[in-house]
Structure 1
Amino acid sequence: MSEPTPPRGVADLATDRLLLRPWSAEIAAAVVAGARRDGWADDFPAHGDRVVARLLAREPGGPGWGRHGHRLLVERAGGLVVGGAGMFPEAGGTGLEIGYGVVPSRRGRGYASEAARALVALARRDGTSRVVAGVEPGNPASARVLAGLGMRHTGTVDGEERYALVVGSWA
């Protein structure tokens, strides 16, 4: 079976070990329907991937589909989909919010950091002035990913730890 075509004009982002491939409408529909596809890790999709798929399915052509939208994390060695990462407009702000998730079977390999670095680099190239993120309490691994990007803790909002990276602090 061939891979579905990504949204028009949106290319894969390549890192050393991953391809960050734009979600297609077909993949989002398969995740929402609970279908299994060839090339997915046994534990893909995880909860966060199902949330993203439902959002994408509700908003065809919305911000989740564009250049700064959601992407699948695909291992370059073997081609398995092992998670997702993406950016979307910051709520009430002018920047982008980043989010990522790696399936349990592939955690601890640095994939979240690798994907997040690629997304922040894309935002920087595109002139984005601010990147923000939120971390659920009790997720120190995710907080380490953000700290590794140079993001600073900005406080707690609605029980979520918030982080930001602004122009002038780009590494």
Structure 2
Amino acid sequence: MSFPDLTTDRLVLRPWPAEEAAAAVAGERRPHWASGFPGEADRMIAGLLTREPERPHGHYLMIERETGLTIGAIGLKWPPTDGSVEFGYGVVPSRRCRGYTTEAVRALVAFARTVPGVAEVFATVDPANVPSVRVLEKAGLRRDDVVASDEGTLHRYVAG
């Protein structure tokens, strides 16, 4: 499966190219990366992508259309399991509280729901992470479960 660019009013979500993932893992700085990108979680995801570059993945760079800067990442935990696919995201501190993450979540969820075999799109979040909870709710997801994980008790949000 190939993943297309997803364009919103202010963002382009572009599948992570292998060379960008390798640069993140190597600790290199690219001129088109906003300050703070990649973060620790981004480097972890980039590491997964570099270990299996030929395997399809659903990870995207969040690119601010106005500046061309990569301001974060969002991705599907591919492939789906029993018709369900989870997603996660992060944005650099300088671009938080601007609605970018909500915009990206809406676009990614809308795309994922068109993929054959995907019946459910969801995210899990620590309930103490109030900004992330607000992002999911603004994007139209609803809390449907509480799940235990290595990180503690998380709330599960599902696209409606």
TM-score (norm 1): 0.83
| 1:51 counterpart SS class | helix
Structure 1 residues 109 and 52: alpha-carbon distance in aligned structure 2, compared to 1, 3 A threshold: same
Are residues 1:41 and 2:34 paired? Answer: yes
Match of 2:143 in 1: 152
- For the residue of structure 1 that corresponds to 2:32, the secondary structure is coil
Q: CA deviation at 1:9?
A: 4.5
Alignment of 1:128-143 (within 5 A): 128-143=118-133
Alpha-carbon distance in 1 for matches of 2:95, 2:144: 26
Q: How far off is 1:10 after superposition? A: 3.3
Q: Report the CA distance shift for 1:137/1:150 in structure 2 as closer, same or farther (over 3 A).
A: closer
Give, in angstroms, the shift of residue 136 of structure 1: 2.9
SS of equivalent residue, structure 1 residue 79:
coil
Amino acid at match of 1:98: F
Pick from 22, 27, 30 the counterpart of residue 29 of structure 1: 22
Alpha-carbon distance, 1:137 to partner:
4.6
Structure 2 counterpart of 1:73: 62
| 8 Å Cα contact 1:134/1:160 also seen in 2 | no
1:5 matched residue in structure 2: none
Cα offset, 1:142, TM superposition: 0.7
Identity of aligned residues (%): 48
Contact 2:71 2:95 in 1 (8 A): yes
Query: How many Å apart are 1:20 and its aligned residue?
Result: 0.2
The yes-or-no answer on 1:61 pairing with 2:54 is yes
Whichever residue aligns with residue 13 of structure 2, its letter is L
Identify the residue that residue 13 of structure 2 maps to in structure 1: 20
Distance 2:61 2:130 in 1: 23
Q: Deviations over 1:102-148 (max 9, x none)?
A: 01111111111100000110012224211121113521111112222
TM-score of the two chains, using structure 2 as the length reference:
0.88
For 1:25, give the aligned amino acid.
Answer: A
List alignment gaps of at least 5 residues for structure 1.
1-7
| RMSD over aligned Cα atoms | 2.0
Give the secondary-structure state (helix, strand or coil) at the position aligned to 1:49.
helix
Q: What is the Cα deviation at residue 43 of structure 1?
A: 1.2
Distance 1:103 1:153 in 2: 28
Q: Which amino acid aligns with 2:119?
A: S
